[in-house]
A and B are shown apart, each in its own frame.
Chain A
């Protein structure tokens, strides 16, 4: 299948999964308001390492806008997505030495290794959720609660991302 088409399909799947599945996940009691993972940023995390900064920003913006439109939270996801689109290149640069960067590869578990992938995903998804939740309530009142929400949601999102990664392993076996 065409590389572009495949990528667009992946993006649409992630957005649909987020809006119709992950946004509707219901947990018990206190956890319900603490864990609200945004798994669709997996798409941004998995863009090839060689993507230009400009393209990455534009893609982040479009993705965030799409999710915002469908979930009625105008601007929140967009702002958070653009933020991680902006910091992603520097995070990748710190984790992968210049010679090792194969521009066509995605920074997946198989390419980065488990530990580096965890660091990569944790930094970006924590940044994303922090931005998202602070924009959502738009106040620094009860900061502890918001920090806890960001942390728990990030952990949940990363856990789901790792499952997705394992599930779609086949796609990337050729890179190993």
Chain B
């Protein structure tokens, strides 16, 4: 017994080190999206309001760019409105499909905090469950995809940024229609990788990459970026570098995209055999 106590006293520094390191690693393992809200729900609210204040102050610095962006978006929407009005007023023209109805709805939101310089980046939006924002909804700006909601509290939502090593969505090359998986390689905040495009597909620098619509999160055809280079990696696939249209450092106003038939879509997808082996829709 005496020896044991002597041993502990002699190595107390090392033992304490092991204990504290153990606690730290345990905390690390709790750091999933889910537990994070569970444990830090309250903290997140405090933190978010801090960041919201900071965001309010810094927002003024970006007003000019933001205004320009909004103007452009307005113009685009007006064009679309005109287009649809003209269709509707044309004699004998097809009406908006009453069967399909409205598929996606958009909730405007403001980014209150976020990072771009980590390997796994997240940002927080000022909308939450009270605004009908829930996990697994897509987030995009007019320029393109920015992330996926992973967590929500009453008034805030945490979004996994496209600049995250776990972020994967199905994307396609607009011109040829070929599908691939879009992900981030952790390097530049302006570039992502489009992988899993078969080698035989003709790829050209300058081609637009957009969402494929093969998921319940993003409608078809939301732009992501343009191809800057491509090479053939080991195997039969291209590795395509995509210049992102969205500048994540200037991210301020975004839209949360709600798919109206999520439950129905999921039910069908779950009924598929070998669901685990296919590409998961939420990747």
| Chain B binds chain A | yes
Residues of chain A whose beta carbon lies under 8 Å from any beta carbon of chain B: 20, 23, 25-27, 29-30, 32-33, 35-36, 53-54, 57-58, 60-61, 64, 68-70, 72-76, 78-79, 82-83, 85-86, 89, 133, 135-137, 142, 145
A86 and B17 contact, CB distance less than 8 A: yes
A68 to B, closest residue via Cβ: B27
For the complex, is B43 an interface residue (Cβ under 8 Å from A)?
yes
Cα A6 to Cα B17 in complex, Å, equals 26
**What is the CB-to-nearest-CB distance from B114 to chain A, in angstroms, rounded to a whole number?**
9
Contacts of B249 in A (CB 8 A): 26, 32
Proximity bits, B171-191, A CB within 8 Å = 1, else 0: 000000000000001111110
For B1, the chain A residues whose CB sits under 8 A away are none
B23-52 near A? 1/0 per residue, CB < 8 Å: 111111111000010011001100100000
- A30 to B36: give the CA distance in the assembly, Å: 29
> Is B54 part of the binding interface, using a Cβ–Cβ cutoff of 8 Å?
yes
Chain A residues, Cβ within 8 Å of B44: 72
Asked if B91 lies at the interface with its beta carbon under 8 angstroms from chain A, I say no
Assembled-state Cα–Cα distance A33/B118 (Å): 6
B266 in the interface, Cβ–Cβ < 8 Å?
no
Contact partner, A33, options B14, B21, B117, B122, Cβ 8 Å: B117
Q: Is the CB of A75 within 8 A of B186?
A: no
User: Are B117 and A36 in contact, CB atoms less than 8 angstroms apart?
Assistant: yes
Q: Which of the listed residues B16, B24, B26 has the most CB atoms from chain A within 10 Å of its own CB?
A: B24
Closest 6 CB pairs of A and B: A75-B28, A75-B27, A79-B24, A53-B13, A78-B24, A74-B31
Partner of B116, one of A20, A32, A57, A61: A32
In the complex, which residues of chain A have a beta carbon less than 8 angstroms from the beta carbon of B120? 136-137
> How many residue pairs between the two chains, A and B, have CB atoms under 8 Å in the bound complex?
106
B115 to chain A, nearest CB (A): 7
CB–CB A86/B13 < 8 A = yes
Residues on the B chain within 8 Å of A76, using CB: 28, 31
18 contacts between A and B (CB under 8 A): A23-B115, A23-B117, A29-B190, A32-B249, A53-B12, A53-B13, A69-B40, A69-B43, A72-B40, A75-B26, A75-B28, A76-B28, A78-B27, A79-B25, A82-B21, A89-B13, A137-B186, A145-B187
Indicate the member of B116, B119, B185, B187 with the most A CB atoms within 10 Å.
B119
Contact in complex: A29, B20 (CB < 8 Å) = no
Residue of A nearest to B124 (CB): A72
Most chain B beta-carbon neighbours within 10 Å: one of A26, A27, A83: A26
Contacts of A23 in B (CB 8 A): 115, 117
Say whether B186 contacts A33, CB under 8 Å: yes
Closest CB of chain A to B243's CB: distance in Å? 12
Task: With both chains docked as a complex, state the minimum distance between the C-beta of A97 and any C-beta of chain B, in angstroms.
Answer: 21
Chain A residues with Cβ below 8 Å from B187 are 30, 33, 145
Smallest CB–CB gap between A50 and chain B, Å?
Answer: 15
Q: Which of B21, B23, B119, B122 contacts A133 (CB 8 A)?
A: B119
Query: Of the candidates B12, B17, B47, which one forms a contact with A82 in the assembled complex, judged by CB atoms under 8 Å apart?
Result: B17
